[in-house]
Amino acid sequence: MNILFLGDIVGKGGRQAVLEMAPLLKKEFNCQFVVANAENVASGAGLSAKCIQEMTKEIDVFTSGDHVWDQKNFVSEIKQFTNVLRPGNVSKVQPGKCFGTFRNPACGEIAVINLLGRVFMRDGASCPFETADKILNEIPSNINCVIVDFHAEATSEKAAMAHFLDGRVTAVIGTHTHVQTNDCKILPKGTAFISDAGMAGAEYSILGRTVDSVLRKFISGMPERLPVVETGIRVDGVVISYGSNGRAATGIKTFSRISSI
């Protein structure tokens, strides 16, 4: 079985590109299930019910990260969705759920977990390693596929999480940096890993934002509005393969495609 994981979707252009490319990618890689990080789908910062509803046809599970509450209405909107996750290692008073099991006719039950890194990230997250242990204790042992979206800045923290969970989950996929890394591998005990899956965002941009605005921010050190580039969209991600041998992955490979958007 094959699972398609899409990197951080940025803005309207990213959404449109994913809607265009997801069916093609599923066919190309024979994927039965799709997970996507959606924390930047609403104008490049946060999520909204409208954006999620627009993409549900092609995406089975939406994960998020440190920008999950950037759109204030989503604090109440998230409650209507069973397939949208927020990070697990934050306060329990935050709405929504941080993991779930999802049944797919082609590949049975799949568990997806969302965690937030702490190194170089916003304050407020508790230990993601302890949280991962607690969540795994709640997932039935007969579920052969467990995917972890670890939304974190530091590649060292992401690699540490992958080795910590090696043999206990099918894949640890890093998100957040919007830059696809060249380190996908299967670890010794069978867990697939990549530091960052990349993004669905503009090829000629800085992490999906206009080059001029980001340069002004770096050069001046002043606050700057960072508009999203909505055309020339590249869709990055990985394909995770697994079988019936426990939770072990049998393969992981990257892809990067330019859409017509």
* Residues 113, 145 contacting (CB under 8 angstroms): no
* Residues 230, 11 contacting (CB under 8 angstroms): yes
Name the band, by pLDDT with cuts 50, 70 and 90, for residue 50: very high
Residue 244 has pLDDT above 90, yes or no: no
pLDDT of residue 124: 86
- H runs (alpha helix) in the chain: 11-29, 49-55, 74-77, 128-138, 155-164, 211-220
Query: Domain of 198: which CATH number?
Result: 3.60.21.10
Q: Is 178 an annotated catalytic residue?
A: no
pTM of the model: 0.97
Burial (CB < 10 A; 0-12, 13-18, 19+), residue 43, is middle
Range of the domain at 213: 2-258
Two structure tokens written together for 245:
């041998």
Name the band, by pLDDT with cuts 50, 70 and 90, for residue 245: confident
If you average pLDDT over residues 3-9, what whole number do you get?
98
Which tens digits make up the pLDDT trace of 14-37? Answer: 999 999 999 999 999 999 999 999
Which tens digits make up the pLDDT trace of 210-236? Answer: 999 999 999 999 999 999 999 999 999
Name the band, by pLDDT with cuts 50, 70 and 90, for residue 122: confident
Taking the C-alpha atoms of residue 181 and residue 112, their distance in angstroms, rounded to an integer, is 21
Torsion angles phi and psi, residue 217, rounded to 5: -65, -45
Two structure tokens written together for 83:
């397939």
- To the nearest whole percent, how much of the chain has pLDDT over 90? 95
Which tens digits make up the pLDDT trace of 68-120? Answer: 999 999 999 999 999 999 999 999 999 999 999 999 888 789 999 999 999 99
Residue 241 has pLDDT above 90, yes or no: yes
Which tens digits make up the pLDDT trace of 141-170? Answer: 999 999 999 999 999 999 999 999 999 999
Structurally, the chain folds into a number of domains equal to 1
Place of tokens 């700057």: 224
Taking the C-alpha atoms of residue 82 and residue 6, their distance in angstroms, rounded to an integer, is 19
If you average pLDDT over residues 25-53, what whole number do you get?
97
Choice among 67, 151, 176, 178 that is catalytic: 67
